[in-house]
Structures are given as C-alpha cells and as structure tokens.
Chains A and B, each alone.
Chain A
Amino acid sequence: MSISTTAQNPNTVTSGRTRKAGMARMLWSNPRARVGIIILVGMILVAVFAPVLAPYNPSANSFLPSQPPSWTHLLGTTLQGQDILSQLIWGSRNSLGVGFAVGIIATALSLLFGVLPSLGGKLLNTSFSTFTNVVLILPGLPLLIVLSAYLHSSGAVTIAAVIGFTGWAWGSRTLRSQVMTLRQRDFVIAARLAGSSQIRLLTREILPNMLSLVVANFMFSILFGILSEAGLQFLGLGNVNAVSWGSIIYWAENGSALLLHMWWWFIPPGAAIALVGIALALVNSGIDQISNPRLRSTARKGGRNQ
C-alpha cells in the first residue's frame, strides 16, 4: 500500500537497455530485494520441478492417516492419509500459477485503463478515471464470492481471470497519477515541443520512467492473486479437488485439524503463502527505496539530539 509516486530522476534517462540492467543491478544490491528475489526464484523452481521434488503422489491416500511429521513424511499426513509435503509442493503450481496469471492480467488492465487514456482528450481521460474509481471502490472479495457462486467449482483459469478482472483498479489509479505528474516534467514538455508524437512520448519518455512503479504494481497484483485464490479455495469456492495451498487449508478445516491438534496440516500451506507474500513485499520495499531516495533509512543521522 506504500507504492511511492515519486519519479526517478529524469537526468538518468539513458537508453532503455542500460537502464533496465541498471535497475536490476540496483535491486540486487539492495539486501531486502535480494532476499525477496532469492525466495521467489526458489519457490518458482519448486513449482516447476514439482514432479521431481515431491516424494509421493499428492492425492495418494494410502498412508497412515493423521501422522505427525516424521522422516518418512516430513510434514506428516492428512486425515485421509495423504502426504502433506507432496501436496504442498504440487500445490505451489496452482497457487503461484494463478498468482502470476492474475499479476499479468491486472497489470495489463491497469496499464490499459491508467496509461492509455492519457493519449486521448480530457473527456476520455476523466471518464476512464471515474470508471477506475468506481471499480476500485466496489468490494473485491464479496464480488469474487458472488461471481464464483454463479460459476460453480471453476478451474484455475477462470479463477485467475475473475480475480484479475476485479483487482486492477488500484494499480491503474497509481499509474495514472504518475503519468499525470510526468507529463508536467520539463523533459517531457521539451520532447513534446521538439515534435514527438503522443505515442512516442508515452513509450519513450513516460513509460521508461515509471518502470519501477509498473514492476511494483505487478508484484502487488501477484500477491493479491495468491491471497484471493487462497481465500476462495479456503471458502471451498474454487475447485476443492485441485491441490493448492488454499484447498489444503480448506480440507484441514473441514477435517477438524484444529480439534485434532493436527497443526502440521494447516500451518505449512499458510506459511508458504506468507513466504511468497513476504518475498514480494521485500522486493517491493527494495524498489521503493531505490525509486524514492527519501525513504532510505540512513536519511537522518543524529538529528534528534542536535
């Protein structure tokens, strides 16, 4: 929620490629962002290599039920006798997949509604902005719940689409306000007076300077997607038979894991979601610190005891 809207210093405008490399290097040199990136990449690798890494078939229910963690079942088994570690590893595919799909859909939509209207006139601009504000203010999760009630146990693709279409408005609003600020900057005005077309202005002058904001927005959308998918699955509104982190918790709650003191059933999937969330938040705060120098915590030294 703390996306900064401060622009990068326009003096650093160079060719696109060196800037991107520069930003990646800066992100990597930021300790918070580096930890976040390492966690994220690690989890993506786990999802990709799930068939190799998972010790058992996630839906095989041939093991002793309700076993606490042991060497044969590192995270124990469910009430139905499934291996929880295998479920967790396979579940990362669904959860991360939906998260990234939502990230892409929502970011595309927020660019479409937040940036593109600036090419048109005032009327177009205001009407898109009003539309964005209306969508932003409609409560997302209740809308999602109602929609999925009508869609009936839908697949991952439908879920991702529905979440993406309900979750783009905030990003659109921050991107729009950034475009409005950048348009008033001297270097953009100079480029316009030099005869650049609107499209060229947008793609060559404005968009490169808000790259960090777009990336931050993408991260937020992924997190939003993962959390929403988990919430829906937890409520039993997705496809409860597909293995995902949310559906593991759904089955745990339905199988009275709390009453039976089976903490190993519901804590790991939630921890996995939290880990992704923390990784994304770390990368984001790294981006924030790079693009908004005032937030760097070394800003003030010994000021209080002057």
Chain B
Amino acid sequence: MRFFLNRIGFLLLSVWAAITVNFLIPRMMPGSPVDAILAHFQSEGAPLGPNALHALEQQFGLSHAPLWTQYFGYVNNLFHGQLGTSITYYPLTVTEVIGRSLPWTLGLAGTATIISVLLGTFLGIYAAWHRGTRIDATLTTVTMFTSAIPYFWIALILVYLFGFELNWFPQLHAFTTLSNGVPWWRFSADVLYHAVLPGATIVISAIGGWLVGMRNNMVQTLGEDYVTFARARGVRDRRLMVFYAARNAILPNLTGFAMAIGFVVGGALLTEVVFSYPGIGMQLLTAVENEDYPLMQGIFLIIALAVLLANFLVELIYGLLDPRVRQGE
C-alpha cells in the first residue's frame, strides 16, 4: 500500500513538473511568442476574436498580471481540457488536432515498442543461454551497432531501399489518399502496408537495448547458485532457461523502461518526420515550423503525460511482481 501511494505521489509530482515546465518555457525564453502569433494572424488578414485573444494572454503571459495569477489561470484551463487554439489549423483547437494525430502515433510506436520488447527479450534469453558461442557474439555485436545508429538515418535508408529503389513499400504517409469509400478491411490493409517501414525503423533501433540488457541480466542469473543447484538436480534445460533463469532476469530489465520509453518517443518522432506519418511527432514539427506555439505546447504536454503514465503503469506492474520493490525505499 505504501508503495502504491509512493508511486501515485511521484506521478502527481512529475505531472506537476511537466505542467510547470510547459508554463515556464514560453515565459523564460527570449523573444515573445505572442508577437509572432499576432503577426501571423495580422498577415493572414484574420484578426483574432476577443475570446481567442484572452486565451492567448493566459497561455503565454501577454497579460501583465503577476506570474502566480497567470499560473493559476493556466492550470485552471488545463483542468478544463483547454489547450488553446491552433494557429496552423485555425479554427481547430489544439485538443482536436492532438485527438486526430495521437491514434496514429500510439498505433505505430506502441505496436513497434511491444514487438521490440518481446523480440529483444526473447533474443536476449537465447543469446545468454548460448553465451560464448558465435550466435551470442553475432547477436550482441549486431545490436550494439544498430542501437548506435540514429533513427532517422535508418528510416532514410529503409525508405530509399524499399521505397524508392525496389518499390516494395510506400514511401510516405500512413494511408493512400484516394482510399475514401473503400471497405474497412482494405483500408486496414493499406494502413498496415504503410506502417511496415516506419515500424521496422523503430524495432531495429529499439531492439538492441532490450536484447543486451536481457542477455546481461540472464548471464548474471545463470551464474546464481540456485540455477547451478537446479541443474545438478537434473532440471531440464528448457525449463531451467525459462522458469529459473529468464523469469528472474526479466524484471530488472524493465528498470530501464523510463529511459527506453523516452528514447522510443524521440525516435518515433523523427521516424514520423521521415515518413510524413500523420502522428504527433510530425504535428510537433509542423507546429515548430509555423511558429504555432499553442499547438507545440499542447503536444509537448501530451507526450510528457503519456510517458509519465506509461512509466507509472510499468512501475505498478513491477511492484506487483517483485515484492522487494514494494518493501525497498
């Protein structure tokens, strides 16, 4: 119970930190985003309504109210789900824009992450079991290489090879634009087809960390006395590998999750840009390029919250499975 409260406390603290960072960045950075926004609207010939102006004031501190008042106004808006209005997609609100792009990212990066965790863990077990052999050396060396290579470069090479040279897979986007009115199963197939290359990029780059982490943990557990004893007792190899060694090696490997998920989010973002995939990462870059500060802030907040929540859930599962975590610290 104490562990549970502890984790909730940390979640709340980190959510507060994310919101506060998001609040402070536009106010502490040089140059005024509000000027950029106003200039944008004036050049478009579409002057802002009083409501929108007021919202902008609250978001970016155009008003000369004390910082504390602005802060409470900002948090209050957040709790009512108001992230402001997007400039690029005016008059859509930031929440609507995010609502459209988030499913794409969750589907792509989420699936790819699950695949790489499963595949990496499995291959890590395999490498550890055959440690010292050529298979082990090959697997660890290859993944050491792949995890040192930038995501966007892998993405570029995959598109170049399989999209432009061989024409096996589509080069850009998440689906064919002329797919209105096609039956849902054909649309799904189209989406899957488009997801192969970006998904492969994320899996290739992310798998290495999981594989090497799992292998090293497993090598440690294989050296433990209880494993030696079980072997001496005549426990079968496969059983020894899965239920004795791997079972205890998996949990510590999850501790890197906080770090890993941050990397995956960043990598997925770059991957989306290469493939013009209509997810949250592509949207973030569009926002930056158009000086769409409300959208930018909103997307950062959503990404941060998603990462915090994912981490919270993993920690909870970790605590449920490993009693030592619950008792420690």
* Nearest-Cβ distance from residue A34 to partner chain B, whole angstroms: 15
Measured between beta carbons, the chain B residues less than 8 angstroms from A280 are 148
Measured between beta carbons, the chain B residues less than 8 angstroms from A147 are 25, 29
The yes or no answer to B279 lying at the interface (CB within 8 A) is no
With a 10 A CB-CB cut-off, give which of B148, B289, B311 has the most chain A CB atoms. B148
The yes or no answer to A274 lying at the interface (CB within 8 A) is yes
The yes or no answer to B21 lying at the interface (CB within 8 A) is yes
Contact B21 A237 (CB under 8 A): no
Contact B311 A300 (CB under 8 A): no
The yes or no answer to A138 lying at the interface (CB within 8 A) is yes
B42-85: which residues lie under 8 A (CB-CB) from chain A? Answer: none
Contact B26 A150 (CB under 8 A): yes
Q: How many Å lie between the Cα of A270 and that of B145 in the bound state? A: 13
The yes or no answer to A234 lying at the interface (CB within 8 A) is yes
Contact A143 B132 (CB under 8 A): no
Contact B212 A299 (CB under 8 A): no
The yes or no answer to B321 lying at the interface (CB within 8 A) is no
Contact B300 A231 (CB under 8 A): no
Contact B10 A299 (CB under 8 A): no
Measured between beta carbons, the chain A residues less than 8 angstroms from B152 are 230-231, 234, 249
Q: Given the interface contacts A146-B296, A150-B29, A231-B150, does A141 sit within 8 Å of B159 by beta carbon?
A: no
Measured between beta carbons, the chain B residues less than 8 angstroms from A303 are 231
Q: Given the interface contacts A142-B265, A285-B144, does A299 sit within 8 Å of B29 by beta carbon?
A: no
Interface string of B132-152 (1 = CB under 8 A from A): 100011000000110111111
> Which of chain A's residues has its CB closest to B270's CB?
A231
Contact B144 A142 (CB under 8 A): no
Q: How many Å lie between the Cα of A237 and that of B287 in the bound state? A: 12
Q: How many Å lie between the Cα of A194 and that of B239 in the bound state? A: 50
A251-306: which residues lie under 8 A (CB-CB) from chain B? Answer: 253, 258-259, 261, 263, 266-267, 270, 273-274, 276-278, 280-282, 285, 294-295, 297-301, 303-304, 306
Measured between beta carbons, the chain A residues less than 8 angstroms from B89 are none
Closest 4 CB pairs of A and B: A277-B148, A141-B266, A270-B153, A150-B29
Would you mind naming 21 contact pairs between A and B with Cβ atoms under 8 Å apart?
Answer: A1-B212, A1-B213, A1-B259, A2-B212, A138-B14, A138-B21, A140-B262, A140-B266, A142-B299, A142-B300, A146-B288, A231-B150, A231-B151, A234-B273, A258-B163, A270-B153, A277-B147, A278-B145, A294-B223, A297-B136, A300-B222
Interface set of B (CB-CB < 8 Å, partner A): 10, 13-14, 17-18, 21, 25-26, 29-31, 33, 129-132, 136-137, 144-145, 147-153, 156-157, 159-160, 163-165, 171, 209, 212-213, 216, 219-220, 222-223, 231, 237, 256, 258-260, 262, 265-267, 269-270, 273-274, 284-285, 288-289, 291, 293, 296-297, 299-300, 303-304, 307-308, 311
Additional A-B contact list (15), CB under 8 Å, known A141-B262, A263-B160: A1-B212, A134-B13, A137-B258, A138-B17, A141-B270, A142-B300, A143-B21, A143-B304, A145-B288, A146-B297, A227-B150, A258-B171, A281-B147, A295-B219, A297-B136
